[in-house]
Amino acid sequence: MSQVVEEKPDIVAASAVERSATDLEVGLPGEKVEGLERVESARSNVMDELAKGESVSYDDLPIIEVTPEENKKVLRKLDLLLLPLTMVAYTLQYIDRSAMSYAAVFTFRKDLKLTPDQYSWLGSLFFFGYLFFEFPGSYLLQRLPLSKTMGASILIWGGLLMCMAAPTHFAPAAVIRTLLGCSEALVTPGFVLLISRFYKREEQPLRVGLWYCCNGVGSFVGALVSYGMGHVHVASVRPWAWIFIVNGGITVLFSIIFLWLCPENPQTCRFLTAHEKRIALERVRGNKSSLGSKEIKWYQVKEALCPWIDPQGWVYFIIVFTIAVPNGGIGNFLHLILQSYGYTAFQTILIGLPQAAMQVIFPLSGAYIARKVPQARLFVLMAYMLPSLVGVIIQYKTRNSGALLFGYYILGSYVASLGICFAAPGANVAGYTKRVVVGAMVFVAYATGNIVGPHFFISTETPAYRSGMFACIICFTITIPMALLLRLYYMRENKRRDKLAEERGEGAYDESRGDFSDNTDVENLSFRYAL
Residue 322 has what pLDDT? 95
Q: Which residue has the higher pLDDT, 459 or 82?
A: 82
- Confidence category of residue 179, pLDDT binned at 50, 70, 90: very high
Report the C-alpha gap between 252 and 156 in whole angstroms: 8
Average pLDDT over residues 357-382: 87
**DSSP states along 237-284:** B-TTHHHHHHHHHHHHHHHHHHHHH--SSGGG-TTS-HHHHHHHHHHT
Write the secondary structure of 376-440 as one string of H (helix), E (strand) and C (coil).
CHHHHHHHCHHHHHHHHHHHHHCCCHHHHHHHHHHHHHHHHHHHHHHHHHHHHCCCHHHHHHHHH
* Whether the predicted pLDDT of 97 surpasses 70: yes
Q: Has residue 36 got a pLDDT over 80?
A: no
Query: Given a cut of 50, is residue 38 above it in pLDDT?
Result: no
Residue 65, pLDDT > 80, answer no
**pLDDT winner (highest mean) among 264-278, 385-399, 497-511:** 385-399
State the angle between helix axes of 466-503 and 312-339 in degrees (0 to 180), rounded to the nearest 10: 150
Q: Give me the pLDDT at residue 390, please.
A: 94
pLDDT of residue 39: 39
Structure confidence at residue 11 (pLDDT): 35
pLDDT at residue 459 tops 80? no
Q: Give the pLDDT confidence of 113-125 residue by residue, as tens digits.
A: 888 888 888 888 8
Q: Domains in the chain and their CATH numbers?
A: 68-277 (1.20.1250.20), 297-505+517-530 (1.20.1250.20)
Q: Reduced to 3 states, what is the DSSP secondary structure of residue 67?
A: coil
Mean pLDDT, rounded, of the chain: 79
What does the DSSP 8-state code read for residue 455? Answer: G
Check pLDDT > 60 for residue 470: yes
**C-alpha distances in angstroms, 50 versus 60, 407, 413?**
11, 50, 40
Give the mean pLDDT of 334-355. Answer: 80
Asked if residue 6 has pLDDT above 60, the reply is: no
Is the predicted pLDDT of residue 24 greater than 50, yes or no?
no
Contact 172/166 with Cβ under 8 angstroms?
Answer: yes
Residue 476 above 90 pLDDT? yes
- In this predicted structure, which of 243-257, 271-285, 405-419 has the lowest mean pLDDT? 271-285
Contact residues for 189 (Cβ-Cβ < 8 A; gap 6+): 134, 137, 138, 141, 436, 439, 440, 442, 443
DSSP assignments along 76-141, one per residue: HHHHHHHHHHHHHHHHHHHHHHHHHHHHHTTTHHHHTT--HHHHHHHHHHHHHHHHHTHHHHHHHH
Report the b/e string of 195-209 with b at 16+ CB within 10 A. bbbbbbbbbbbbbbb
* Torsion-angle region of 45 (φ positive above 0: left; ψ -120 to 50: alpha; else: beta): left
Greater model confidence, 266 or 112: 112
Alpha-carbon distances of 347 from 92, 111, 233, 336, 344, rounded to whole Å: 23, 21, 19, 12, 5
pLDDT band at 160 (very low <50, low <70, confident <90, very high): very high
Higher per-residue pLDDT: 491 or 430: 491
